[in-house]
Amino acid sequence: MEKTTILVHKRFTQGEIDPRIYGSFVEHMGRVVYSGIYEPEHPSADENGFRQDVMELVKKMGVTAVRYPGGNFVSNYDWRNGIGPVENRPRKIDLAWKSIETNEVGTDEFMKWADRTGISPVFAVNLGTKGIENAVSLLEYCNFPAGSEYSELRRSYGHEEPYRIKTWCLGNEMDGDWQIGHKTAEEYGRLAYEAGKAMKLLDPEIELVVCGSSMSTNATFGEWERIVLEHTYNCADYISLHQYYGGQEKGTAEFLAQSLDMERYIRTVCNICDMIMVQKHSEKKLNICFDEWGVWSIPDKEVQAKVEQNPWQVAPAISEQIYSMEDALLFAEMLMNLIRFSDRVKIACQSLLTNISACIMTERGGEAWVQPIYYPFSWMARYGRGVVMETKSEGPAYRTPSFAKVPYIDHIVVYNESDSELALFLVNRTEKKTEADFEFQMFEIGEVLESGVLHHEDKKATNLEDHDCVKPQEIHNWTKKGSHLSCIMEPLSFQMIRIKVKMMI
């Protein structure tokens, strides 16, 4: 059996994990909002119409932050349509997804849901069809205490205290020609800077996210970041990255290797940020908000075809992807990458929370259930807290048409000093058992607190019919001797191991 050796030394760390890295995304798209998080007629609905069964799953998932209200949706959205008495709100055309938006859920409703679920809101403003005034007025409505037009409007609707929303995204995917109000890097950079400048004049405490590339394969990738940051560096706090991976038809080996492209993507953007920092003679280090990420198994043309088949519906069922065990492994690798780069990636939003490329699925009037991708997220959100350790590893790798060296085992190690424990997260990319041998230096290894695996004999197994088909199991596949812990990983599996430790002086 082939073996990967992994060295962990107490003195070598990557970065502190920001809890907001375990964020998600709620967009007015398909059934994400209506019959996803919100369904007043549902037996579990609370007094505000939100499904409490979904709320409980969100809490168990460990979601810390949620981006809202889009997405492509935000680029043709006027937030003013979603406030005030619901019966007076207009039904509007959503050009992004060719649907009808009822505006039953808007800013105030979402903030009630956010409060009930205990998440931090990340709001996006419309820099597609709108601009500076629309962005600043929304900020005023949300964050200004009292005594102005929009703060008093908020108070008149029963929300006395300001929401104090901290993080604001300046538009969405403005580099993409599919975006309503798509702009060149120069056009977007100028607008984003002026909008951001005005917003920080109103509320200096907020932090701003400027649009980076919407995928690593865009023709403008790299040059877009450079130009946008040349304009916005002085007002921006983060630059966004978006990335989805599919391509299961290329085979498991190639499919699971795509996390290496994500690593390269993050490193490249960090380097561009640092280059602009030097050019600006700035001491501010710009960080990353990876505010859309996930596995996308449905080709975009199929999504668009579904939209075109029956347009202008309320909450149409589109892009309701069903994830397999195989998908869960790439999903886990992507989240591990975000944690691995936690010195620079401070906010991340898994896309989307319910029904579309989602961890949580719902049935109208019926039950809510979770997909296999739910479990790696919940494990890492719960135990991936603290400091990411820098590791050195050596072991077997394979080659694909796109990647020259793909390690059999992907891994991260997180040290939680307050709880005196290490959490190990591993993916076996191969279809055979393989060994991972950890050597810990300057740690005294104690008991193994928990060892669990997500694995199924059928890599294409899903939870569609049997909602418990793919779920975690306890596993005792490890041995411990001195400063070493070794485990024999199941083929195509994700594993989490928690170990009690003491620091050695």
Beta-carbon-side half-sphere exposure of residue 210 (alpha carbons within 13 Å):
32
CA separation for the pair 322, 476 (Å, rounded) = 30
CA separation for the pair 22, 346 (Å, rounded) = 10
Integer CA distances (angstroms), 448 to 332, 428, 429, 493, in order? 22, 20, 24, 19
Catalytic residue status for 133: no
Burial zone of 319 (CB within 10 Å; 0-12 exposed, 13-18 middle, 19+ buried): buried
Find the Cα–Cα–Cα–Cα dihedral 305, 310, 315, 319, rounded to 10°. -20
CA separation for the pair 45, 37 (Å, rounded) = 9
Distance of CA 136 to the CA centre of its chain: 26
CA separation for the pair 259, 334 (Å, rounded) = 6
- Residue 452 falls in which region: left (phi positive, over 0), alpha (psi -120 to 50) or beta: beta
Catalytic residue status for 292: yes
Integer CA distances (angstroms), 161 to 58, 164, 260, in order? 25, 9, 45
Residues with Cβ < 8 Å from 486, sequence gap 6 or more?
435, 436, 437, 438, 478, 479, 480
| Number of helical H runs and strand E runs in the chain | 11, 25
Q: DSSP character for 393?
A: E
Q: Give me the catalytic one of 27, 292, 333, 490.
A: 292
372, two tokens: 């296999």
Q: Give me the catalytic one of 109, 140, 173, 439.
A: 173
CA separation for the pair 48, 54 (Å, rounded) = 14
> Are 180 and 128 in contact, with CB atoms under 8 Å apart?
yes
> Are 127 and 188 in contact, with CB atoms under 8 Å apart?
yes
Q: Which residue has the tokens 């280059």?
A: 275
What's the length of the chain?
Answer: 505
In this structure, are strands 99-101 and 120-125 parallel, antiparallel, or unpaired?
Answer: unpaired
Task: Please list the active-site residues.
Answer: 173, 292
